[in-house]
Amino acid sequence: MFEIGIDLVDLETLNQKRTEVLINRLLSDEEKIIYNDITDKTRQLTFLGGRFSAKEALFKAFKQGDKTANYRDFTVLNDEVGAPYFVDNHFLSGYTIKLSITHTKHYASAVVLLIKNK
């Protein structure tokens, strides 16, 4: 069994709402370290938008879920070739997750394929 989730984020709208409170709400501790190390403000915004979009796509793939998770419970990192992936945690055990993130000057988008392990 599998589910698909997709999300699109308007980066200008996100930028207008970008505050420390929002960043702390959306990013895990590990992601915040990476975010804070990015010196280019445009790259920071696409990083934030991509992570937000990825987590929204994941929530959509889960449909209802257990309603106890929040954005900070999930971490998206990049592997050695730059491909994004969700760090495994107790919410994700029992699933294989495929993730793709893309962004342009104006938008960030993510697609999640959530596969239930047998």
Could you confirm whether 67 is annotated as catalytic? Answer: no
Q: Alpha-carbon distance 30 to 107, whole Å?
A: 23
Indicate which residue of 32, 55, 60, 118 is catalytic. 60
What is the CA 5 to chain-centroid distance, rounded? 12
Indicate which residue of 103, 105, 106, 118 is catalytic. 103
Query: Phi first, then psi: what are they for 97, rounded to 5°?
Result: -125, 130
DSSP helix/strand/coil, 17: helix
Kindly write down the DSSP assignment for every residue of 33-93, as one continuous string: HHHHH---HHHHHHHHHHHHHHHHHHHHHHTTTTS---GGG--EEE-TTS-EEEPP-TTTT
Catalytic residues: 60, 103
